[in-house]
Amino acid sequence: MPVVRSSDAVTHEIHGARFVSYATPLSGAKELCAWRGEIPAGTKAPAHTVNREEIFHLLIGELLITLDDTTHRITAGDTVIVNPGATFAVENPTDHTALTWVTTSIGLEAELADGTRITPPWAN
């Protein structure tokens, strides 16, 4: 069983948020990937539609999550299950950085409203 040290995690930044990836094919994962998300105060990420189920757990903070046009306020300890084909957006309306833990299967892709496809390097 591979051990991924925090010093070996890879950091990516996109849409004002930071993604610190731990479990990826490059670190030895065969089916799943996982990362910590750091969502700064005031960040409003664009809505995107995902092709894989995504489990989004809020570790610290408070966020507004829009899932298929319904907005939910979540707080630390809450988990959001994002099913394949769902449209998902995240906003941090607070003045503190929120921390998340996300798990999905390898091969996650997201499509923005304008049709742009994103293949996140931390999920592939």
From 43, 34, 38, select the one nearest 60 (Cα to Cα): 38
The whole-model pTM stands at 0.92
Strand-by-strand arrangement of the 117-118 sheet: 70-75, 62-67, 87-91, 48-50, 110-112, 117-118
- pLDDT for 122 equals 75
Amino acid at 95: D
75-108 pLDDT per residue, tens: 999 999 999 999 999 999 999 999 999 999 999 9
Judged against a pLDDT cut of 70, whether residue 1 lies above it is answered with no
Report the range of poorest mean pLDDT among 2-6, 57-61, 113-117, 118-122: 118-122
Q: Are 59 and 102 in contact (CB under 8 A)?
A: no
**Alpha carbon separation from 62 to 15, 42, 44, 91, 92 (Å, rounded):** 18, 11, 13, 9, 7
Distance from C-alpha of 1 to C-alpha of 115, rounded to nearest angstrom: 39
From 34, 53, 56, select the one nearest 45 (Cα to Cα): 56
46-63 pLDDT per residue, tens: 999 999 999 999 999 999
Q: What is the mean pLDDT of the chain?
A: 94
What percent of the chain stands above pLDDT 90? 85
CATH, range 10-118? 2.60.120.10
What residue spans define the domains of the chain? 10-118
Distance from C-alpha of 115 to C-alpha of 97, rounded to nearest angstrom: 29
Provide mean pLDDT across the span 5-33.
92
